Structure 1
Amino acid sequence: MLELNVNNETSRLRAVVLGSAVHNGPTPKREEAYDPKSLEHILAGTYPIEIDMVREMEAFNRVFEKYDVTVFRPEMIENYNQIFTRDIGFVIGDVFVKSNILPDRERELDAIQYVIDQIDSQKVVRPPEEVHIEGGDVMLWNDYIFVGTYKGSDYQDYITARTNLQGVQYIKDLFPTKIVKGFDLVKSKIEARDNALHLDCCFQPVGINKGIIYKNGFREEADYLFLVNLFGKENLFHVTRDEMYHMNSNIFSIDTTVVVSERNFTRLNNWLRANGFLVEEIPYAEIAKQEGLLRCSTLPLIRD
């Protein structure tokens, strides 16, 4: 049995589901793009190819091996994108929540069923149909659960709006002892530089008391100020619009002092090192073209 335990983003990682880029399928057609950044690369002819993405994911996997983390991979589905396991489920405490994802991604959940089968079935939940929630929008910070959402009345018009207000309420009901805070995110169907697809595209805690943040990813300044007050401005690394586009806030913590980051994130990586972090730099720029990075391709199961 897998004894699930995840209460924050940075405690020592013991077990994780890492996505897979094997048999990723052909470049999508423009009408098949789920987000503006993928669309941009489809149209430009720069959409990532399988061999490059497999290489990047293996570099990530080697870091996990180095730190003795148990890694599960999805069962392979031919011609299918299985990179972003963060979307399909998430763990809070000792509970595995299956996401209600876009319907044509349901098979991704089937591909990790062999992992879910190792969890106590009493601890696996699936929200009702009207509840939309994806793991990229759910961020644990000890007593807090931060949830990215979109409050606009045009929610249903945005394929980039992934977690609705019912999703925030569902988490509140499921975890009554936690402080659940919803954040209204900026969405765009056409401009990737103005689209916070998930909360982890504009915010992520690192270490014990620090974080990476993009102010303009929040529709309400009050939401941004909430985090500034909670963490302290001096503890936050503010990314630029361009750094947000390249997914600087979407790195991944193996421990409170060990972070996996993209090797091109020079300014961020220097800041992390200056603040006492060991930065494991890997190439991940091809996968980033699909508006997802390191956090998006992981589903942590156990942290100390």
Structure 2
Amino acid sequence: MIANDARIRVDSEFAALRTVVVSRCEFRAPDSPAILGHQMPVEPEAVRVLEGTWGREFGAVFPERQRLWEDERDNLAEVLTRYGVRVLRPRLFTAAEKAAAGPHGYANFFVRDPWFTIGEHVIEGSLQFPHRRLEVLTSRSLLLDQVMPAPARYVSIPIPEVSGDGAAGPGPFLEGGDVLVLGKDLFVGESGMATDRTGTEWLAKYLRADGYTVTPVPLKSHVLHLDCAIGLVREGLMIVCPDRLPDGVPETLRDWERIDVSEEEAAAMATNGLPIDAETYITDPQFERVGHQLQARGITVEYVDFSVSRMFGGAFRCSTQPLGRFD
């Protein structure tokens, strides 16, 4: 018998959060920009960090920021625990895994992307950036412990092909930051930087028999993931950056109430908050304007400073991965 709070199932972005994995804080940049695997991020602070850490661990270059970064994730875990959420953490990389990463470097900092949960399906994805290709390994033992005893299915998308020039190479690519869950409706972002059409089609094929509909959502080319453009807060309410959606909001969501944010706010991760449930939302004090609009709609807002995490181009959704989210 599996305890109710340990059931593996995610029904939506805002169903009650029961079990969640909160990220670690490990990053070593590639040896040089030539092997990053993709274009540089557009966030100015992220560019400055990369320029100071080529071939080196972030914590060795910026020890005080490393400490603050770890505190941010611990503070988030404390807030979630206070609301009764069961919090799990990935392990750290082993010395052998760091060595295997070689000149590409490694990252263990945004657990949203290397795997994700849809309904009772836990899916290991496939990441474009070479320095993130091993990131799923730090969650593997956790997934084996939590998912294998459960009725949930556990699969992995085929690994991408190998490129000889240091670029990302052909896909398929499928990253959790691009996948938004709304019951049987799934929205999958495509910008060229992360999930590609082959990855979207694989997901649609895999889940079709279970009645899921997958809608591709085009993103502007500088936007890494869909959750950097849209955040579903509760049924009928979303935070959105229209400037990042060249084809507009997906048709299924066009009747929803919107809290619009600017390109500058979205680049700072204004859409990347985390609903604990449909009445409670976590965001950064940087986005107090958004928080006030949520509070005016009856939502309790918890503020957690996430300035270091946001510097890497992600925030609360990027830093968490639900295993249980259901009412």
**TM-score by structure 2 length?**
0.79
**Relative to structure 1, is the Cα distance of residues 145 and 225 closer, same or farther in structure 2, using a 3 angstrom cutoff?**
closer
Separation in structure 2 between the aligned mates of residue 171 and residue 27 of structure 1, nearest angstrom: 30
* Aligned length, in residue pairs: 281
**Relative to structure 1, is the Cα distance of residues 275 and 148 closer, same or farther in structure 2, using a 3 angstrom cutoff?**
same
| Partner in structure 2 of residue 85 of structure 1 | 111
Q: Is 1:112 aligned with 2:139?
A: yes
**Relative to structure 1, is the Cα distance of residues 30 and 285 closer, same or farther in structure 2, using a 3 angstrom cutoff?**
farther
Displacement of 1:209: 1.5
* Structure 1, 117-126 or 240-249: larger mean CA deviation: 117-126
For 1:176-223, what per-residue CA distance to the aligned partner results, in whole angstroms no more than 9, with x for missing partners?
A: 112211011101xxxxxxx221000000110221001111111224xx
> Could you list the runs of 5+ residues in structure 2 that have no partner in the other structure?
99-105, 160-170
| Partner in structure 2 of residue 178 of structure 1 | 212
**Relative to structure 1, is the Cα distance of residues 56 and 28 closer, same or farther in structure 2, using a 3 angstrom cutoff?**
farther
| Partner in structure 2 of residue 128 of structure 1 | 158
Contact 2:217–2:250 (CA under 8 A) maintained in structure 1: no
Displacement of 1:225: 5.9
| Partner in structure 1 of residue 20 of structure 2 | 16
Q: Percent identity?
A: 23
Displacement of 1:142: 1.5
Displacement of 1:55: 1.2
Q: Which secondary structure does the structure 2 equivalent of 1:53 belong to?
A: helix
Separation in structure 1 between the aligned mates of residue 321 and residue 253 of structure 2, nearest angstrom: 27
Counterpart pick for 1:147 among 185, 188, 206: 188
Q: Is 1:39 aligned with 2:47?
A: yes
Q: Which secondary structure does the structure 2 equivalent of 1:249 belong to?
A: coil
Counterpart pick for 1:269 among 291, 295, 303: 291
Contact 1:185–1:199 (CA under 8 A) maintained in structure 2: yes
| Partner in structure 1 of residue 87 of structure 2 | 71
Residue type of the partner of 1:39?
Answer: V
Q: How does 1:241-280 map to 2 (within 5 A)?
A: 241-280=263-302
Q: Which secondary structure does the structure 2 equivalent of 1:107 belong to?
A: coil
Separation in structure 2 between the aligned mates of residue 74 and residue 292 of structure 1, nearest angstrom: 17
Q: Which secondary structure does the structure 2 equivalent of 1:280 belong to?
A: strand
Report the aligned-residue RMSD: 2.3
Contact 1:213–1:249 (CA under 8 A) maintained in structure 2: yes
> Could you list the runs of 5+ residues in structure 1 that have no partner in the other structure?
156-160, 188-194
Q: Is 1:211 aligned with 2:215?
A: no
**TM-score by structure 1 length?**
0.85
| Partner in structure 2 of residue 50 of structure 1 | 66
| Partner in structure 2 of residue 286 of structure 1 | 308
* Structure 1, 114-123 or 292-301: larger mean CA deviation: 114-123
Q: Which secondary structure does the structure 1 equivalent of 2:217 belong to?
A: strand
